[in-house]
Amino acid sequence: MSESTLLVETRDGVRVFTLHRPDVMNAFDDPMRQALVEGLETAAEDPAVRCVLVQGAGRAFCAGGDIASMAELQEAGDDSVLKHRIALAARGVRALLGMRKPSVAAVHGPAAGAGINLALACDIRLGTPKAVFSESFVKIGLVPDWGGFYLLPRAVGPGKAMELMMRGDRVDADEAYRIGLLNQLLPEAGFGDAVFAFARSLAEGPPDAIAHIKTGVQLGAAGGLDEALAFEERAQVELFLGDDAREGMVAFLEKRAPRFGR
C-alpha cells in the first residue's frame, strides 16, 4: 500500500484507513483507490481486525473522483480506465458490506460523489458540524457509483434519494443527521478521539454476535418478516452455546465487564 495516499494502522483491534491526499480534499487517484479496496479486502479476512474505521486527512473526508483525470480520459476517448475504476469501487463496497465486522466512517468535512457513497457503505457514520454531503455526480453529467443507487435509498428513502441525486445539492451536518446520513453528530473538538473510542467499543464487543447483527439488519432492511424471523432463530441458536455468549452471561452474573473474543 502506498503510504503517500493511504495511511493504515491497527490499534486495539481497529484497522484505521486514512485517505491521505489532503491537498485535493482526498479525491481518489488510482493508487489510493487500489490501496483502499485491497486494504478493505485484507481487513475483512484478518482475525486481528475487529472493526474498520475510514477517515480523511486534512479538512475533508473525500471529495470523490479526480475530475481532472476524468477529463483527460474524455479527451482521449478512453473509457477502459473508467470501467476498471468502477469495478474497483464495487469491490470496495462489497468488502465493507460483506465483512463480518463493523465499519465506521468519520466525516469531519466534505464527503462528495464517491466520498458520500464510501461513507454510506460503512455501517455507522459519525460526523462533526463541518460535515457536508453531496451526490455531486449530476453536476458533471454523471450518475452515482460506489454503490450509491443501493445505499442512499436505504438510508434516506427513495424520494429523498431522487432529490439528492437529481439536484446534487449540498446537505449540511444538521440536515444529514436529521435524514439519517449521520448516526451521530459530535463536537469538532476531540472528534478523532471520540470516533476511535466508538470504534474500539465495537471492537471490544462479541465478534460473532456483532457479525450476525450486521447480517440481520441488512436482511431486515431488504427482506420480509418471515426471512428476518427465520434468521433470528438460526442466529440465536448458533450463538447460544458459543464462547462469547457463555462469557457474557458469566460476566453479567459476576458483575464484571465481559472479555469477548479471547
Query: Which pLDDT value is given to residue 168?
Result: 96
Q: Which residues, 6+ apart, have CB-to-CB distance to 115 below 8 Å?
A: 26, 56, 60, 61, 62, 63, 64
> If we measure between CA atoms, which residue out of 89, 69, 87, 88 comes closest to residue 78?
69
Other CB atoms closer than 10 Å to residue 239's CB: what's the count?
17
Domain boundaries, the chain: 6-203, 207-254
Mean pLDDT rounded to a whole number for the chain: 93
**Residue 70's pLDDT is what?**
80
pLDDT at 79: 81
The pLDDT value recorded for residue 3 is 55
Which residues, at least 6 apart from 127, have a Cβ–Cβ distance to it below 8 Å?
A: 106, 107, 108, 173, 176, 177, 182, 184, 185, 186
Residue 60, pLDDT > 90, answer: yes
Q: Are 188 and 128 in contact (CB under 8 A)?
A: yes
Q: Cell digits for 100?
A: 463480518
Percent of the chain with pLDDT over 70: 99
Does the domain at 6-203 match CATH 3.30.70.270? Answer given as no
The correct answer on CATH 1.10.12 for the domain covering 207-254 is: yes
What does the radius of gyration of the chain's CA atoms come to, in whole angstroms? 19
Name residue, grid cell 483527460.
Answer: 72
Amino acid at 40: L
Q: pLDDT digits over 62-112, tens only? A: 999 888 888 887 888 878 888 889 999 999 999 999 999 999 999 999 999
Task: Please determine, for residue 225, whether its predicted confidence score (pLDDT) is greater than 90.
Answer: no
- Residue 2: band (very low, low, confident or very high) from pLDDT cuts 50, 70, 90: very low
Please give the biggest Cα pair distance in the chain.
Answer: 68
CB within 8 Å of 47: residues ≥ 6 apart: none
